[in-house]
Amino acid sequence: MIDFLMHYHSYFSVILFAVGFLMLLLSRNMIKKIVGLNIMDTAVFLFLAVQGYVNGGIEPIIEPGNVSNVYVNPVPSGLVLTGIVVSVSVTAFALALTQRLYKKYGTVNIDELTLIVRNEKKQGESGNA
Amino acid sequence: MLEWYKNIPLFSILISLAAAIITPLIKNKKCAAVITTSLIATVLLASVILSVCIVPSNEVFIYQAGYFSAPWGNELKCGVFESVMASVFAFVMLFSVFGGLKDLKYDLENKTSQYYYMMLDLLLASMLAIIYSNDIFTCYVFIEINTVGAFFIVMAKEKDDTYLATVRYFIVSMLASGLILFSIAILYTVTGHLNMLYLFESIQLLWESGSYRLPVLVAAGMMCVGLTVKSALFPFHAWLPKASSAATVTSSAILSSLITKGYIVLLIKVFYRVFGIEFIRETNISNVLFVFGVIAMIYGSVKAMRQTDIKKMIACSSISQIGYIYAGIGLASPLGLAAAVYHIITHAVTKADMFLIAGNMISYSKTRDLRKMRDIGPKMPVTMAMFVICALSMIGIPLLMGFISKWNLAQAAIDGENRVLIIALTLSTLLNASYYFPPIIRGCFSKEARTAEKFTSQAPFKEIWSQIVLTLVIVLMGLFSAPLSALINTGLADLIG
């Protein structure tokens, strides 16, 4: 337990994760939410990337003249790369969605948006009746 | 020598991905629909053949998907459970697409329709990968693909308030994805593995030796919360009614009956293959899920009673049905798990059918308001009859599929001496009846219905044949439930161990 927490990078990434998480959850602005999402993902990438580092390790490519007893773990880097691709595509989708929202309703604030949609519905109902 | 049928899992995933690349390039709308439906049909056929091949010997095989072997390489694991799940998912998806074709034509803009079909291909690919994959990071990648596909199919109908529904779905779904990713990162850090088998062994060792208990527990909690948010369990259910009532009919059917189920299947795999059910029981995670499942059973029904919009009512009923599934999983007993899996299949078939029927009703009666559908019984008798059958199945009337799954769940509850579940089951059944019967009675026996002309707005056969097929399945599975139950029990034997 103790040595798990000794890595202070883990502390930072957990704090960053919490910041991103809360930003995505609580912020009312779509753009801020997307920024929060990216902070959250980046925190996990930091966490993973740090875990792959081995003290004094070299890159895990075995060539003549590049032999060592200690190598850096390459798997987390692979995971981070995959994660980045996923995160980028989700961000792209979210930005496209926000653009559509802004074009249609003229706002990126969730509360205002809810209000507008509710009013539209009410008007529609009274129009039908 | 590898037997030929062992290639089917990877083959199904790959052709779905290939179709997803081809479909958007095709400008012809009809052609894209043909490619997608034939793809789903092919996957269905392949999965059924796979099931037929492996059921007699109850074989569970591991398929090495790549050059490297186990701890480093990527693997697919397939047994009877996986192949049956894949068949059910492909079957329900196929008929959801067929049943919603007319609404798709009306709801989608010309420019976006081939992208819609592309997303359906991707959804199929990702659900198959989630079912088959034995590597938890691969599961995460396909969860994200599934999520983006789900956003798109909700948003595709650019009318009403689909944007707002998508935004809400987006926020909760992304929070859940973050939790799942972090959970995987923690698991990798403490065990050094991503393969489910090796994770299981390491976690057992760690748990027995008592080291790193907190990180493993946190990872398990995060994974559970993430997957339950994505499958709309009670405290995180709010996105489901909004998204599935705003979207087009096919999307609602797929969202409510398949996408949420994909995550539940993954949760079952994570419980039994990664953490081990002993761990889940010891840490009380299963009890927490059980409590929320029971609350969802009641809450979803109460919420459905207050709805006046037909699609919203059906979607709220999904919340309560998902509660049933989680209550079954939460029992953490073989019987409970079998009941939950049976209910996954029941709910997938019935809910998809109900959404398609509701779509049919909406397009012919020109209203979504249940209070205004007063003469719907005589005007569209075939559609209404199917709605009645589905509703009875959801309530749990004997001779229908829903009865069998409630029966199984009640048996599991009695076996586990769980009084709470029996009371909740009874209460929820009564509540189910109380919101499904009023619209039926109003539609068939109100003043307007008695005077209305008959068959005036019945949809033609070509628009309702897929609903008829699904309804027939509900009736037949109710009458002859033994084979499916036996199949599920053989399939789960490997998971329970």
Buried b (16+ CB within 10 A) or exposed e, A3-15: eeeeeeebeebbe
Predicted local confidence at residue A68, as pLDDT: 74
Interchain proximity B163–A97, CB inside 8 Å: yes
Predicted local confidence at residue B1, as pLDDT: 65
Predicted local confidence at residue B393, as pLDDT: 92
- E-strand ranges in B222-326 read none
- Cβ neighbours of A86 in B, within 8 Å: 140-141, 144
- Cβ neighbours of B195 in A, within 8 Å: none
Domain ranges within chain A, ordered by starting residue: 2-128
**Separation between Cα atoms, residue B311 and residue B313, nearest integer Å:** 5
Smallest CA-to-CA distance from B298 within B410, B421, B388, B394 is with: B421
Q: Tell me what percent of the residues of chain A surpass a pLDDT of 70.
A: 91
Predicted local confidence at residue B389, as pLDDT: 92
CA-CA distances (angstroms) from residue B132 to B75, B78, B300?
Answer: 9, 6, 31
Calculate how close chain A gets to B459, using CA atoms only, in Å.
25
Predicted local confidence at residue B236, as pLDDT: 87
Predicted local confidence at residue A64, as pLDDT: 79
Q: Does B308 touch chain A (CB under 8 A)?
A: no
Best of A73, A86, A109 to disrupt the B interface (most B CBs within 10 Å) is: A86
What the block records as the tokens of B115 is 């992208």
* Range 14-43 of A in CB contact (< 8 A) with B: 17, 20-21, 24-25, 30, 33, 37, 40-41, 43
Residue ranges of chain B with pLDDT lower than 50?
Answer: none
- Cβ neighbours of A43 in B, within 8 Å: 182
What the block records as the tokens of B472 is 């027939």
Residue B309 three-state SS: strand
The pTM for the full model equals 0.93
What are phi and psi for residue B365, nearest 5 degrees?
-100, -5
Instruction: Give the containing element (helix H, strand E) for B60.
Output: none
Predicted local confidence at residue A129, as pLDDT: 47
Predicted local confidence at residue A1, as pLDDT: 52
| Cβ burial, residue B482 (10 Å; 0-12/13-18/19+) | exposed
Calculate ∠ Cα B179-B185-B191, nearest 5°: 130
Predicted local confidence at residue A5, as pLDDT: 52
Interchain proximity B144–A121, CB inside 8 Å: no
- E-strand ranges in B49-108 read 61-64, 75-78
**Separation between Cα atoms, residue A65 and residue B237, nearest integer Å:** 58
What would the pLDDT profile of A78-93 be if each residue is shown by its tens digit? 899 999 999 999 999 9
What would the pLDDT profile of B123-179 be if each residue is shown by its tens digit? 999 999 999 999 999 999 999 999 999 999 898 887 767 888 899 899 999 999 999
Domain ranges within chain B, ordered by starting residue: 4-496
Residue A42 three-state SS: helix
What would the pLDDT profile of B194-241 be if each residue is shown by its tens digit? 899 999 999 999 998 988 889 999 999 999 999 999 998 888 888 898
Q: Does B155 touch chain A (CB under 8 A)?
A: yes
Q: For residue B164, give the nearest of A47, A79, A113 by CB distance.
A: A113
Q: Which amino acid is at A127?
A: G
Predicted local confidence at residue B172, as pLDDT: 92
- ipTM of the shown complex: 0.91
A11 — pLDDT class (breaks 50, 70, 90): confident
- Report the CATH architecture of A2-128: Orthogonal Bundle (1.10)
Q: For residue B175, give the nearest of A21, A113, A121 by CB distance.
A: A21
A4 — pLDDT class (breaks 50, 70, 90): low
**Separation between Cα atoms, residue B175 and residue B171, nearest integer Å:** 6
